[in-house]
Amino acid sequence: RFHLDSVPPGIYRIELLTDSMAPLGIADAEQEVSVRAGDESSLTLRADRLDGLLTRMCGGRQLPTQRTALRVVLIDEATSRPDNGTALRLWWTEYVRERGVNRVVQQQLDATTATDGSVVFCGLPVDLPLDLGLALGRDRAQRLETLRIPSRFPTARTLKR
């Protein structure tokens, strides 16, 4: 429980951020509150369920069942600063059943790191090997890491290069 006094009138965004959610780049809960001069306000924050969490991580996009998200932060090893503007690629192999036939499908997502060195990949399969690397053009990549997201709960990785 917190009590704040002497807050000037205005509209504020309140966020609850815990150590478990900070690496994912999102708050556990968030809400806007309007403060008027001389009024008292109370606020109850509730954390999202998993679907809401994934939707917020993925910019409002709802993910299908058995899909998850990964947030990557890329750090320049020489300067220890965020590496922004770097093209990353995530690729994997899935086995898809269509019209009674199993097919092998190669999947790939490309994204560029933001000013804080981060990028979020959404719609990833659970419990399959995922290769993460630097995109070196349309058909090439330099693998940095192979990872597996064991459950639907999103994962965060910090990598140095």
User: Does pLDDT of 20 surpass 80?
Assistant: no
What pLDDT does residue 23 have?
A: 79
Report the percentage of the chain scoring pLDDT > 90. Answer: 61
Average pLDDT, the chain: 90
**Which tens digit of pLDDT belongs to each residue from 44-97?**
888 778 888 899 999 999 999 899 999 999 999 999 999 999 999 999 999 988
Q: Stretch 11-40: mean pLDDT, rounded?
A: 82
Q: In sequence order, what are the residues at sequence separation of 6 or more whose Cβ sits closer than 8 angstroms to the Cβ of residue 135?
A: 87, 88, 89, 110, 141
Instruction: Measure the CA–CA gap between 121 and 108, rounded to whole angstroms.
Output: 10
